[in-house]
Structures are given as structure tokens and as C-alpha cells.
Amino acid sequence: MSAALSATATTKLRFENADVVVFDPVSTNRSASRGALATLGFRKVQTPYDPSALQQRMKGQTADLLLLEMRPDPAPILGIIQDIRQGRLGLNPFVIIIATAWTLDDDIVKKVVQSGADDLMGRPFSIGFLGQRIRNLLDGRKGFVVTSDYVGPDRRRDPGRTSSAATFTVPNSLKLKATGGNDTIAIETEIASQVARSRDGVNAEKSRRNAFQMIIQARLTSAALDNAAPAEMITADLVKIETLAQETVTRTQNSEFSMAFQMCEPIVMATQAARRGEEVAHHLKLIGQLATTLYSTLCSGRSTEEIEYDVTQTVLMIQNRSVKAS
């Protein structure tokens, strides 16, 4: 928080300016959740009643807290959470998300954790319990990690486990509004600034990981081609590479990595040519070279030897795992 906001911050939590979205398909549950939030001091609460209404509410808008029921069908809500975290839906990928469910079985717990939600609460819950869980996310919210397929709270249980995913602090707009005083314009400006910086950080990390995945996929697909793999398998692998390249285009355009944005176009063109059956081996080699250059650009400071070592080790690990599985 800026010095100006810190100077006006108070110890008492004030939630009246926080934007909350409560999703639950059952009207009595929505009313109960809204009443509990009102008791805690929340005044700006919206209650979409189906997944499409929730998605429409989040399009091009922001929120500070989402309270989302998983039942009876968690799939569309989990998809919305993932779209938010990946930056595909809404203006703030770092909004606090609390999932709720009447039955906390292993399957729903696993799916919620993998979606990137901050917390999962069982229903029914008391007002005091909800208030405590919200306070926990103001004072002790987990740092976020970015991997090839996940953006969300760091839930790695073994802190000593080797991982390339660094943890970083993300904006907590609910905390800023609850503790930032009366200058709402200054608070909103601070939130927008923090979200923009963190979004750029996520996009940079995702783009680096995408580039590395494209290198690995090009190597594996080339090996599969040499081993006379079915054409459908080769095409599926090329689609994966093109999808990664297209996502990197989206994440790097209008950013400090404009050069990376320009470098993705020839990768897309090469994958499309290979999918048409045009000199597939040649284009796969070209994709690998282009992706390596892209990765090197996004990872300034890493030598060609270091990159090649990481790529070789990763390819060997995947191939050995495939052999064991067969």
C-alpha cells in the first residue's frame, strides 16, 4: 500500500465499499449468505443465480470477494474460477475466492484446490465462522504460484521440495478497501496499479513457461515422428504448440515483452504449415529453434548451455516416465 493510504488506514475493518459476488443456485442459500455478509458490514453484494449470470457479472468487471457454491454441478464454477485466475475473465485475477459446498468429499476438495480458489468452506456456516475465514484471508493469505497449468495459492505441502515455481505476493483488494480509510479514489487507484503490476508478472512467468513447453513439445513430437507415430498424434501435438504460442501472443502484446509477441507469429505459421503436412520434420525443427530463441529472450541472463541442459533433462524424464508407464 502507498504511504498515502497507509497514513489513513485504521485497525477497524470496513467492508461497506467492498464489491462482493455470491453465487448459489438456491435462493434461500443466497439470501442466507447475503444476510451473513450484511451482518459483517458488507453492503455491495450481488447474487447471480446461475453460472451464465455469474460469468456475465465478471466480464469486464472487478470484485473484491467471491463466495461460490459448488453444488449441484461444480464443473462450470470451477471453469469460471480458472478463467479468472488465468486472466481470461474479469479485471482482477487475484480476487479472493471462497468456494462453498454442503459435502466436502475428496473429489470436490481436490478440484477446488486445483482451480486456484483461496478457500473451501462447508455449509452450513455461522456468521462468526465466515467472518473468521475472511479475516484469515486478509492477514494470512497464501502467496501465489504460476505453473504451466495453474495460477493460485501456493499449496505445496513440502517446503523443501525442489520446484521452479516461485511464490509471489498478489494484490488483496479486499484488504485495501477494508483498511485503507475514506479516500476511495486513492484506494481504487492503488488497487488498479497493484493488479496491473502483478498481472504483468504472471503474464511474463506464464510466457516463459509456455516457451519452454513449446521447446519440449517440439523435441518430443520430432522423436514421435521419427518413430512413425500416427498422424493424429502428431497433429494433436502441433495443436498444443500452436495453442501455447497463441496464448503467449495474448499475454505479451502491449507489454514490455513486445519482441516476444512478434516472435510468436512465425511459430504459429510453422505449426500451421506442419499441420497441413508441409515438411513436418523441417517445421518441427524450426519451431524448436524459434521457441528456444523466445525462451532465451524471456529468460535474460540464462546461457544457451543452461537452457539446453534443462531441455535435455526434461525430455529424458518425460520419455523415461512414458517407458515405465507402458
Whether 164 has a pLDDT exceeding 70, the answer reads: no
Cβ contact 289:283 at 8 Å: no
Domains and CATH numbers, the chain: 3-182 (3.40.50.2300), 199-325 (1.20.120)
Cβ contact 177:18 at 8 Å: yes
Q: Please calculate the CA angle 317-320-321 and round it to the nearest 5 degrees.
A: 85
pLDDT at 254: 74
Note the pLDDT tens digit of each residue in 57-109.
999 889 999 999 998 999 999 999 999 999 999 999 999 999 999 999 999 99
| Dihedral angle of Cα 144, 147, 151, 156, to the nearest 10 degrees | -50
Q: Which residues contact residue 80 at a Cβ distance below 8 angstroms, ignoring those fewer than 6 apart?
A: 51, 54, 55, 58, 68, 89
What is the mean predicted confidence (pLDDT) over 257-275? 90
Cβ contact 85:115 at 8 Å: yes
Note the pLDDT tens digit of each residue in 168-182.
899 999 999 999 888
Cβ contact 197:2 at 8 Å: no
pLDDT at 58: 96
Note the pLDDT tens digit of each residue in 98-147.
999 999 999 999 999 999 999 999 999 999 999 999 999 999 999 999 99
What's the Cα-to-Cα distance from 280 to each of 180, 182, 213, 277, rounded to whole Å? 58, 62, 19, 6
What's the Cα-to-Cα distance from 118 to each of 42, 53, 113, 322, rounded to whole Å? 19, 22, 8, 34
More confident call, 76 vs 155: 76
C-alpha cell at 218: 517440439
Using a pLDDT cut of 90, give the percent of the chain over it: 79
pLDDT at 163: 57
Whether 158 has a pLDDT exceeding 50, the answer reads: no
pLDDT at 245: 96
For the chain, the average pLDDT equals: 91
